[in-house]
Amino acid sequence: MGFDRLIEGIVRMQNPTVVGLDPRLEYVPEYIVEKKIYKHGKTLKAASKAILEFNKGIIDEIHDICPAVKPQAAYYEMYGVEGMKAFYKTVRYAQKKGMFVITDGKRNDIGATMTAYAAAHLGYTDVCGEEIAAFGSDALTVNGYLGTDGISPLIEQCRANDKGIFVLVKTSNKSSGELQDLTLESGKTVYAAMGDMCESWGEQLQGKYGYSGVGAVVGATYPEQLAQMREALPHTFFLVPGYGAQGGGAEGVSKAFDKNGLGAIVNSSRAVMCAYKKEECDERDYAKAARREVIRMKEDIISYLPKIAIE
């Protein structure tokens, strides 16, 4: 229940990081892109097949040292139906390799419609009695702007299928404060009010290690807010984007963790996917370069943590 499976993976690998699979075509080595275009022309199909091969190569190299991947739905949707096929196959492949898959979709809607999103990403779709997993991730990022009835259907699916959600609280982007930092009459900020809702929703999904299945997205680029939220939301597991390329440092993100080095997972996307470009190594070595970057990131982050242990 909750994020127990994810936490166990983090402890086993001593690695509280997740690799974001946000594969723009320009991140994919040319030899892969050229091969697919030779076969399928300059089409969405060629692009999607290139992305899938790229993802599989990275998953092959990191699945034994990194507990989770986070495919970003937008980068598959932009390649249309073929892109969604690459997304589906990426999720399946990573799970087959034992990884925990967080779909970054930031989905949100009213209750009836969230039931459909919950089925799509965390549960099963009924087709005249057959129950079929449409995309079948392990967790989904969601936006809580619509309140409880947009979250309840997700909680039901999480409970039934041992899945989790991450609700946007304080996002990593520059303009996140325009709405999220506004102060309410109560003296709280909008993001803190959203954080409180996460704690409250999570009461229905408590896990074994003190964290519920309702996590929160809190950006690495705002370390003060990370520290404040860590204290205010003791049962809420954090997904922390913004490390590396977006400017968040390891010392800052350490504030997202509790005294056991648990309570958060830090995402890096571009720095891992494009490690081969930064290293200026042979592009055919892209997956091994990604592995080297995962190890570098993990060591950077754990150097600020006391330990990573289940008490």
Tell me which residues in 182-211 interact with its own copies (CB under 8 A): 182-186, 190, 193-194, 197
Which of 194, 301 has the CB closer to its own copies?
194
Q: Write the single-letter amino acid at 10.
A: I
CA dist., res. 179 & res. 190, Å (int): 7
SS3 42: coil
Of these, 125, 251, 309, 310, which contacts its own copies (CB under 8 A)?
Answer: 125
Of these, 120, 154, 253, 290, which contacts its own copies (CB under 8 A)?
Answer: 120
Q: How far is the CB of 177 from its own copies (least distance, A)?
A: 7
CA dist., res. 196 & res. 209, Å (int): 20
Of these, 64, 178, 231, 251, which contacts its own copies (CB under 8 A)?
Answer: 178
**CA 303 remoteness from chain centre:** 22
Of these, 3, 54, 100, 117, which contacts its own copies (CB under 8 A)?
Answer: 117
Examine residue 232 and tell whether it contacts its own copies (CB under 8 A): no
Residue 98 contacts by C-beta under 8 Å, 6 or more apart in sequence? 63
Q: 10 Å Cβ neighbour count for 278?
A: 11
Q: How far is the CB of 260 from its own copies (least distance, A)?
A: 30
* Candidate list 35, 89, 97, 106, residue with the active-site label: 106
Examine residue 75 and tell whether it contacts its own copies (CB under 8 A): yes
Number of residues located near its own copies, criterion CB under 8 A: 73
| Contact by Cβ (8 Å): 169, 217 | yes
Examine residue 55 and tell whether it contacts its own copies (CB under 8 A): no
Whether 45 is catalytic: no
Give 259: exposed, middle or buried? Use CB within 10 Å, 0-12, 13-18, 19+.
Answer: exposed
Which of 42, 208 has the CB closer to its own copies?
42
**Interacting residues with its own copies between 3 and 32 (CB under 8 A):** 22, 24-25
| Contact by Cβ (8 Å): 235, 201 | no
Map tokens 């099963």 to a residue: 124
What are the catalytic residues? 106
